[in-house]
Structures are given as structure tokens and as C-alpha cells.
Structure 1
């Protein structure tokens, strides 16, 4: 996605969060940028170019949320920037989708659903960092969006991200406990005409064995000593924690921000050891070095704001010696030779030797994080992963592969393809789990539609006269 497309996408996110009428939105699309979007004449959804967004008008209100003209315009621009065709998508249809999103967020507030402030802050920070990297600085980003300062823009992004998070939370609540019985799955499948049943693409199942180079106690002691040196310099000499984080922290997500993590609550999804330190220190205190699954840290409590805490941290990794890397290489090569020679099966070797806790007890079988089963669609796999296993036949063992875990620590792996599934028409027995998911999804959609009908009646909804003739999927006009 190019810079202009990304900024348009984020502009849409910002404007959808605003609950006030603004006089002009030309700060996003310059007068020289002629872009084709559907005309505002609802009765005639033909396409025509325009150069500026005109003065704002309120198209709809859902609960406390307002949907403006520019929200629809920029919705089209967002789709176009992502390569999605807008042909056949009327303004009525897009307005209906925007109202649906606002309804979820409105009801989430009514139901007192909570979202993680830390996650919203993290998402907002990532967006601002990316925009700053594209435009050159935060000051230029603020100027581009005609804001007095970056804090105002950050607040609007935060509000937009919070609305999206609330909407997602509400959707999850509606369908959270839904299940389908075997009889419902059977009825769903056999209700589809045979020539209309889905075709499933080629898939594979993959197992792995992971070996980690051993970290010596000396390497751990050295990492802890470096953190203690930094801690002493900060406490005794007044050195800047933020500067040291920028220079030395190994956390790619926070190092550029001086190690800053804001809005941490007691239910935030962070490592237990990290949370223990966050809520046991006073404002201005610096922790002793402590360990999590990510490495070793020191932590500084910057601000305590009621139930929320802002902290900075520095992450360090113990150095892995060349000797340890070579030993791990020799170990995994020996395991591979035993498997290829038939002295041990891949599954047995995984259970005996693999150091990956999530897969070793299952014979190394990898679970697809998107579908939560063991099958991977070859057309949708991560490109790097796909390249490593694509040409393996069933039972083949890959060469040793060097990889890194989420902390950046080096790993050595071997893969095997335990089974291949060619492209085929859906089979009730063979594809039961996938058919079950399709049946569940259909049931969830029906439940969401039912929920919408019930909640719209109880929610304040106003639709502009220009859209009274729209054929909405939901009863937004309350006829």
C-alpha cells in the first residue's frame, strides 16, 4: 500500500470517530487530486470525479454516533486504495455498513463491555509511528491533518480504534457461546445442492521439531549485569531511562519510544512477571532486573493514573555463544539423520527432543492459528513458511532451517509434511470440521441479524431524508 493510500485509510478511521459536524474535509484530499467515487445523488449511483469534499452533512445518527457525508466518501476511497472494486456498491449499502458498526459500539457501551486500553494505545502508537516514518516527523503528520499538535490527532485515532474494538467485543458477545450440533451440521451440508457445494483448495498438515541453542549461565549473568549497570546509572547519576531504552532495549515495539507502554491495567494481557513489577513499584522507582518469557527487563514506573500505570522498560537478551549454536546444529542434524534412516519416527523424535512446548506433545503437529485445526491452505500460508514446506512430499524431512521466535531468539527447525490434501469438492466425512465451521458461521449470521432487528428498535436511529428510499438489509428506517 502506498503512502497516499495508507493516509486515506487512516483518515477514514479518524473521521468515523468524530461525533461533531466539521465544515470541511479538504485537508485529506488536495484540490489537485481528482478521485472517482460514487456521486452523492442516492437515487443515481453513477460515478463521477470530484476534486474536493464539500461541506459536511449528517447522513445518519445511531445512538451517540454521527455518520457524516465524508465517512461514506472516504469509505469508497479506502476500498479503492486496497484494490477493492466499488462497482455495484451503492451509498445506501455503505451507509448501512457504517450504521451497523456504530450500533455494535453503542450497544457495547450500554452493556458496559470493556476493551484493553493498553492494546488500543499500542495500536494507535503503531499507526502514528508509521505515518511519521512516511511523512518524516510527527509534526508533519499533525500539519497534514490540520491539527494543532500530534496529541489531538492521537486522541482521534485512539477514539476510532476504541470504537472498532468495542464493536468487535460486542460481536463476540453475541456469538460467543454459540455451537452447532452434529445434526445441524448434517442438515446444513445436505441442504446445499450437490453442484453448489464448496470446493476446498489444496492443503497440507505439517509437523516440526525445534531445537534452541543453550544459553549459558555466564550469558545470563552478563545480561543481568548490563541491566544493573544501566539501573545504577539511572538511579545514582540521573541518566535518562528513555535514552537508554532507545539505545539498548531489544524490544522492537517500544525501543523507539524510549520503552514506553501506557495505560496498563491489572487485566492487561502482559506477562505476569511484568505486571507484578508494574503494580508493586511506586511512581519514579526502577525495578531490579527480572525475567519473562521474552528475556530480561528493568522497568521504570513513569506515571500512576488511578487504575492505570504508564511504564518504560528495557529488554535484554543473553548472548548465545557460537559453541552453543554449533552444538544445537549438530544435535538437530543427528535427529534428522535418525528419522531419515528410519531409526525413529518424526512424531517420536518430536516428543523426545523438540523444545517447542506447544507442539512437542502432539508429535510436532502445528496448529493453524487462523482456523485452529491442523490444515494449512497452500494459497493462504505465510510466504516464508510456504516456501519451506511447499515442495515436501508426505513423509519427507526438510533441511535444517534457521528461524527466530517472537523474542528474536535464534531457533533451529526441521519440518515434515504429515499429509497432503488435493483440491476437491467438499466431502461430509473428510471435511467435517470445515463444514462444521461453515454451519456455525451461518448460524452466527442469523443470530446477529436477529440481534440487530431487536436492538435497532430500542436504539435512537435517525436517517437523513436523502436515504429514506434506501433498501437497507436491516430495518434502519423502522418501517
Structure 2
């Protein structure tokens, strides 16, 4: 079923997933299948359609039988995960659930709005349904991982895979390019950094003297994700926060306020409100040092000088990046960017970030853009120049030229075969009952055990 993207179903941050599951018990369901210890309800198929539509997927050609087959697969994975003693702990599920609920509360604007949106009576009712969704998906994903974990592929297998592809079915790979950049950041004065630290120390002292941290965060914090909520975050050591922030948060006791500390976003202070086992409930205030207009002007002039030296061939782009770029992640690699999807230094044009695509799509190899004003995650402005090192036009796959991509396809094909073999074996030994209404479906797997 090529239309199914399993990563999508494992991404429980999507509101549609929770919404769909939350509605499940409101419909009087019939059991349409039993797979081991799990059942499939008729409304489960309705929920699949809702999930797909909510994510912009055209469902007109997706049959109910196809969705039913996917439900059977997921239940088989989950059932076998339990048989194989794969453990998904309550703390693991609850931790992940808390992260997602916090994100929903932030996105929608309060727990009361979340409950209303999902038509749930109270938070406990909402959490019970959400818990089941997460547990099922984690069991499924861990079982899938276990099946393919030991699957490897040799160069000879890759070669055989490629040779076996009919000529009229050889894949076409899209145009790609290697992109490099040099970044020059405006210099923030020590006086400005000192001003921010002093302001945070002033706020800290006022809170110690009795002022409300919540109110101070609303008034002064520059974190758009939490300022309106008094700077509140709930986190554990696995939560996706920058390291410097987590390091400070987990050294504080309940009621303690940190000294000002620096991250890529600016300077913070943290107040820890509660510690619940491995979780910390905290509030923070972020203030970023401001860059003067003169500093921005100076940064632009500096990068213009660098660009002119590259254009006049006084220095190569790579050497200029190594000696002058303020971006530590790319500086030592000659400014070359890594594709966040593949972690390789090549970007497929059709899958490139739209902003980056607009900056480089018309560049010729070796051509350098004029200085571009950009922003970091925290909103700090900087200038950059960008070049294209190697461009590959759209082409039919070639073994030597596209070995890594072909290897990925070959490995995926081998993993699919391994999963098919596993499924065939487990279906034979697992109790499975299909409702008569769905016995006419044409399944990929032998669910009817004919």
C-alpha cells in the first residue's frame, strides 16, 4: 500500500490523529476482525479516512479494503510485539503523551479549548484515549524495527538489484545540487549583553521579593512559544530542548530561580515550580541582546568584502568560509550545508526548503549570491552569501553515479521482503477472524488463510 506513510501514523503530534481516536467510542461499532489479542472496529476505518483527509491526502482512490488491510497489519505487529516481550512502559507513554498534549495546549490555547475541540468531558477522558493511541503506535513501530534491524545489504546485492530493474522502469532521480554558505553575524557589544543580564537579574530579584514570575514572563519574555502562558514548559531529559537550557533546568530545586545563562536564543532565567519524578514543570524568561543598526551595516560591509575577494579569485569560497564564516556548523567544511533529510551534502531541488530554493535555483555552478539578510531561530539577523558547488540535472539512475540512492532502494526492497516473509509466518500462527462483510476484499497478505 504505497499511499500509506507509516511515519505519518507514528507522528502523534498531528491533531487529526488524536481527534479521530477521541471520537471513536461515540459510534456504536461492530467488530470486523480479531487479530490475536486485538480487535478492529468498523469505525477504525472511518478514522483512517479522517486522518488522511486532515493531512491533505486525496482518498478517492483509497478503498475501505486497503485501509482494513493496514489495520490488520498494525494489529498483527502490536500483538506479536507483546508475544516477543517488547515492552512499552507506562512512563514512556505518559512522557510522550505529556509532550504532545503540552504542544496541543500551546497550539490551541488552553486545555479547556483542547477538550472542547476534541469533544471530551474532561482531561482524564481525553488522556485515556490518547494513551491507547500512543501505546499501539509504539508497539507497532518497535516490532517493525525489530524485524528489519538486522537486514543488511552487500554491494553485490545492490548491483544485482539494479541489473534486475527493467530498462523502462529504471528510476529517474531529480536535479540535485551541493550548496555552501558563508555567514557573518553582527557583533553584539559587551555593553548590550551586560544590559540584558542586569535586566534579568533585576527581574529575578523582584520575584524573590514577591513579584509574580508569571506576570514578569508575560511582560518581558521574548519567547513567542511561552510568554503568553507565563513562560511555562513541562519537560524531561528526552524532551527536545537545547542542551544548555536542560542542563540548567535539571540542576535546580523546586522554587529555585537560576542565574541568567546564555543559549543560542539569548539569555534566560528559569524558575522550577514542580519536580515530578523525571519531569520538571518550570517557567522561564528569555531576553535577547539587541543588535544595533551600525552592527548590521558593518556585517554587510564585511561580507561584501569577502564576496569581492571570492569573485576576483583572491580566495576560494571554501577557504573564505573556513577563515571568516561565523557559522560553526559549516565553517570547517568549507561552508557546505547538510541536507537535514538525508544528512548528506546534496539537495534535491523539488524537496528543498522553498526559501533556500529561491536563493539558489537560478545560480550557476561557482556563482555567488549578493549578501542576503536572514534570521536565526531566535530572530537574530545575519548576512550570508551562498554558492552552488555541484549541480546534477534530472537523469535516469546510473549505478556508479547514484550508488548510494540505489543502495537505499535495494535495502528498502530487501526490508519489504523480510517483512512480507515475517507476516506470512505470523499470520499462520496467529488467531485471526475476519467478518463476513470483508471476506471479499483482495488482501496483499493471506489474512483469510486460504
TM-score (norm 2): 0.85
Pick the aligned partner of 2:216 from 244, 259, 279.
Answer: 244
Asked if 1:13 corresponds to 2:23, the answer is: no
2:442 matched residue in structure 1: 471
Pick the aligned partner of 1:232 from 184, 194, 205.
Answer: 205
Pick the aligned partner of 1:123 from 71, 78, 100.
Answer: 100
Which gives a bigger RCO, structure 1 or 2 (Cα 8 Å, sep 6+)? Answer: 2
1:30 matched residue in structure 2: none
CA contact (8 A) 1:16 1:160 kept: yes
Q: SS at the partner of 1:440?
A: helix
1:364 matched residue in structure 2: 335
Pick the aligned partner of 1:143 from 116, 120, 138.
Answer: 116
Which of 185-194 and 111-120 deviates more? 111-120
1:206 matched residue in structure 2: 179
Asked if 1:258 corresponds to 2:200, the answer is: no
Unaligned runs of 5+ in 1: 1-8, 25-54
Pick the aligned partner of 2:31 from 45, 58, 83.
Answer: 58
Q: SS at the partner of 1:252?
A: coil
Q: SS at the partner of 1:95?
A: helix
2:303 matched residue in structure 1: 332
Output aligned runs, 1:280-299, within 5 Å: 280-299=251-270
Which of 121-130 and 185-194 deviates more? 121-130
* Superposition RMSD in Å: 3.0
Asked if 1:220 corresponds to 2:193, the answer is: yes
CA contact (8 A) 2:94 2:131 kept: no
Q: C-alpha separation between the residues in 1 aligned to 2:93 and 2:197? A: 31
CA contact (8 A) 1:205 1:376 kept: yes
CA shift, 1:423, in A, is: 1.3
Q: C-alpha separation between the residues in 2 aligned to 1:344 and 1:253? A: 42
Q: C-alpha separation between the residues in 2 aligned to 1:330 and 1:461? A: 71
Pick the aligned partner of 2:395 from 424, 431, 437.
Answer: 424
Asked if 1:434 corresponds to 2:411, the answer is: no
CA contact (8 A) 1:301 1:311 kept: yes
CA contact (8 A) 1:124 1:161 kept: no
TM-score (norm 1): 0.80
Asked if 1:180 corresponds to 2:180, the answer is: no
CA shift, 1:458, in A, is: 6.6
Change (3 A) 1:250 1:58: farther
CA shift, 1:245, in A, is: 2.4
> How many residues of Structure 1 are paired with residues of Structure 2 in the alignment?
433
CA contact (8 A) 2:180 2:335 kept: yes
1:406 matched residue in structure 2: 377
CA contact (8 A) 1:201 1:423 kept: yes
Unaligned runs of 5+ in 2: 1-13
CA shift, 1:174, in A, is: 4.0
1:22 matched residue in structure 2: 25
Change (3 A) 1:394 1:300: same
CA shift, 1:233, in A, is: 1.7
CA shift, 1:309, in A, is: 2.0
